[in-house]
Structure 1
Amino acid sequence: MIPYEIVHMFTDRPYAGGALAVLPDAAGLGTAAMATLAAELGTTETVFVLPAAKPDEDYRVRVFQPSGETPFGSHSAVGTAATLVRLGHLPAGRVVQGCGPGRQRLDATAAGAALIGAGPLPATGIDPAPLLAAAGLTGADTTADPPLATGFGAPFALLPVRDSALSRARPDPDRMAADGLKALCLLACAPDGKTVRARLFAPGFGIPDDPACAPVAMALGLWLAATGRLPAGDGDHRYTVH
């Protein structure tokens, strides 16, 4: 029998947020077995935890969606790190996860984990027209805030819209694929400047409407700083994403 855990990330109650399957000891599994198990479990992502392969990492993972392997480990890193600490596989504190060529650094406890971003933080202006068309919206749905491509590592397209447009948005996966747009985040910022409602359409990653995404939540922090809602300097600057 192969033990596994189902973790519900980015939520305060069971069976909400993003469901993640974690296999804490997958060293004996090959690629075909991992793909079969991920398809059987059917969660958005399934993480197979492996021994560290390099001196600068505590453990290594391979991440599979039901449709196949993905090279990105940042989203699932939060649930994986907290699960490994809770099960006693790692001590609480700073941990480094290896996934493909990347490294994810986290502060983890048995109750949760914080993903740490560092490095160049570009924020590039982008044309809103194809983004609006991809979401089934029009220029009347936008705000005065700029759409930006930003994030730690691969940038995400962030499009600010009116709050009422979030529920009306209908993504067009074919148009997004034709435009080379793997993911699109619509965001509506509350008057307090530190609370955001968001929807993420990520058909390019096999998730048509993602209920929660760690890398995008981090990218939203960069957008808030770029638009002056959060300080751009060092410090503890908090915001909330729904």
Structure 2
Amino acid sequence: MTAVPFEMVDMFAHAPFSGSQLTVVPEADGLGEADLAALAREVNTPETAFVLPPVAPGATYRVRVFTPGGETPFGGHSSLGTAVTLVRLGRIAPGAVVQECGSRLHSLSVGPDKGTVTAENPVEAREPDLALLTAAAGVDPADVVEAPVRTAGFGPAFHYLQVREEAVPAARADLALMAERGLPDVMVFSWDPRARRATARVFAPGYGMPEDAACASNALGLGEWLVAAGRLPAADGTYEYLIRQGVGSPRVGTVECSVTVSSGRAVRASVTGTVVPVARGEFLLGPGGGAAPVSA
């Protein structure tokens, strides 16, 4: 029987049991495909990151990321939590880190309890159906704030819906509708222009998370959206903004963000967050495969 250590952490958290949950398996080399999927289902956190030796030149380590429903090819959501955990455990040095996930490399700057992930080159925007977004998020169309309706992102393109502040905690995702119409996600948020702060909820069933308490990828894309929508300046420079996510749900996360503008468009965005350890333990793998946690 083989013992496989794991760490459970909360990302973008102000205290234990806030922010977004992540399980990190620091030594996943040698685990089979079925083991990875089984462990992710067993621990049942929104994402489980399995750390492996790097393949790409310049990468610090490689990671495969699973939700309880299967593997996700992006790994942006969990990159910060994984890197900070590896620094805290002494497995990688603090400072600049390059995480390999699938065909993508994520650039980070991390310490033992906090880190920053940076992305460049936003994807091409699309114009989604406003009526679909409001119905999917359970938002009254009267609560929608007039703004360009477009996707934004630095990896996958996310869907953003700006509403009045009181509509955010009342939002309720129609997961059946989202599945039927092929809508993977929607971020419902209000915007305080003086504080440059968004209050948000993110529903992402297409990524295996009916609701995400704090999400790096959505936060990066919001910076591009804010510039394109005129909520942040289009003059060259770097502008900070803050996201309080999960308001109205049992878990709230805080994401510190910035976006860099060049020639009138967003070209780079960064998100920073605190990672709080909450549990550690071991999985036991028998000789025939299969796993179950024995301590936490």
1:31 aligns to what? 33
Task: Name the SS of the counterpart of 1:7 in structure 2.
Answer: strand
* Distance change in 2, residues 1:25/1:218 (3 Å): same
Q: Please tell me the root mean square deviation across aligned C-alpha atoms, in Å.
A: 1.6
1:171 aligns to what? 173
Q: Which runs of 5+ in 1 are unaligned?
A: none
1:80 aligns to what? 82
Task: Name the SS of the counterpart of 1:13 in structure 2.
Answer: coil
Task: Name the SS of the counterpart of 2:108 in structure 1.
Answer: strand
Q: Which structure ranks higher in relative contact order (CA pairs < 8 Å, sequence separation ≥ 6)?
A: 2
Query: What TM-score comes out, normalization by structure 2 length?
Result: 0.78
Checking the alignment, whether the CA contact within 8 Å between 2:97 and 2:107 is kept in structure 1 is yes
User: Is residue 2:141 matched to residue 1:108?
Assistant: no
1:70 aligns to what? 72
User: Is residue 2:49 matched to residue 1:50?
Assistant: no
Deviation for aligned residue 1:241: 0.2
Query: What TM-score comes out, normalization by structure 1 length?
Result: 0.94
In the alignment, the residues of structure 1 paired with residue 121 and residue 207 of structure 2 have an alpha-carbon distance, to the nearest angstrom, of: 23
2:197 corresponds, among 195, 198, 203, to: 195
Alignment: residue pair count:
242
In the alignment, the residues of structure 1 paired with residue 236 and residue 25 of structure 2 have an alpha-carbon distance, to the nearest angstrom, of: 36
Checking the alignment, whether the CA contact within 8 Å between 1:146 and 1:160 is kept in structure 2 is no
Checking the alignment, whether the CA contact within 8 Å between 1:193 and 1:229 is kept in structure 2 is no
Mapping of residues 1-242 of structure 1, within 5 Å: 1-192=3-194, 194-232=196-234, 235-242=237-244
Which structure features the higher share of strand residues?
Answer: 2
* Distance change in 2, residues 1:119/1:205 (3 Å): same
Task: Name the SS of the counterpart of 2:24 in structure 1.
Answer: strand
Deviation for aligned residue 1:121: 4.8
In the alignment, the residues of structure 1 paired with residue 107 and residue 24 of structure 2 have an alpha-carbon distance, to the nearest angstrom, of: 18
The Cα offsets for residues 14-56 of structure 1, whole Å up to 9 and x where unpaired, read as 0111111111111121111111111111111111100001213
The Cα offsets for residues 124-181 of structure 1, whole Å up to 9 and x where unpaired, read as 4433111111122232011122222001021101011111211222211121122221
